[in-house]
Amino acid sequence: MSAATSSSTQLDVAPLAGAIGAVITGIDLAHLDDATVDAVRAIWLEHLVVFFRDQELDADAFLAFARRIGEPVRYPFVKGFDTHPEIIEVAKLPNETVNFGGIWHSDTVYLEQPPMATMLLARELPPYGGDTMYASMYAAYDALSPALKELLDGLDAVNSSALADVSKTREDRIRDQGSSEEEPEHFLATHPVVRTHPETGRKALYVNPAHTASFAGMTEEESRPLLEFLFRHSTRAEFTCRFQWEPGSLALWDNRSAMHNPINDYHGFTRRMHRITLAGDTPA
């Protein structure tokens, strides 16, 4: 266990796994001074995803914490709350079998400027299941051979919001909002296969099973074998961690260097989360 100290708070940091993830305790996210925010941000950049437990945050406090870390932005497919449009509900109900975003992915990489980070706050949980897994794309890149790194460093990838495996995880949410009669808008963006993190300077793989359709300038058929290898490689057990939620748990992950996958193993129960995404930059 390591520790990070601010002027007013002693933060205990317990790594969750070797490559990614840490739980921060000794903190109340509703009452933070600037030094504590700086300490949290440093820990987050080191561990890629950080978790906080037992946080009593209403919508105002949740949004206020998000604004201490970045700039909240609206999600393109699901309408936020009327009073807090930057907050969306991510829910799976007892009668549903498909969960929202239930595939390995980085959030909305089909946008020209994907989000820097995402925050998820647990509101209602099943009696078991519903964990989320995270993968370090730093570790995935670092473990590649020098020859493959050299090849990938020169490639771009085409990312789409319309790939079937992820589109179906949004259908219930879109239908609930009464927009099923209209063809949903599709987004397409080309980004480097290997991006350099703008704050740490480290290289990370930046392709994911949910959104990456092909390498730029190649057909999907030509791209598929190498992409499928990279998807399998990126989620090797030693690159991942797994978080078990409790009511009041909050996760903050770095969308620029991590993937995540909410596990769909709680049919017949409700899982209700609130989510905020934070504005990012153009990957380079």
Active site residues per annotation: 105, 107, 260, 275
- 75 phi/psi in degrees, rounded to 5: -80, 135
Distance (Å, rounded) from C-alpha 28 to C-alpha 277?
20
Locate 188 and state its tokens.
């397409």
Beta bridge mates, 188: 160
Residue of 238, 240, 244 lying closest to 266 (CA atoms): 244
Strands 271-278 and 72-73: antiparallel
- 175 phi/psi in degrees, rounded to 5: -65, -40
Strands 2-5 and 88-92: unpaired
Please tell me what DSSP assigns to residue 207.
-
Sequence letter at residue 64:
A
Residue of 255, 284, 234 lying closest to 109 (CA atoms): 255
Token pair 């460093």: residue:
153
CA distances 156 to 103, 213, 260, Å, are 22, 11, 21
Q: Are 143 and 238 in contact (CB under 8 A)?
A: no
Strand order from edge to edge, sheet including 188-192: 188-192, 156-160, 212-215
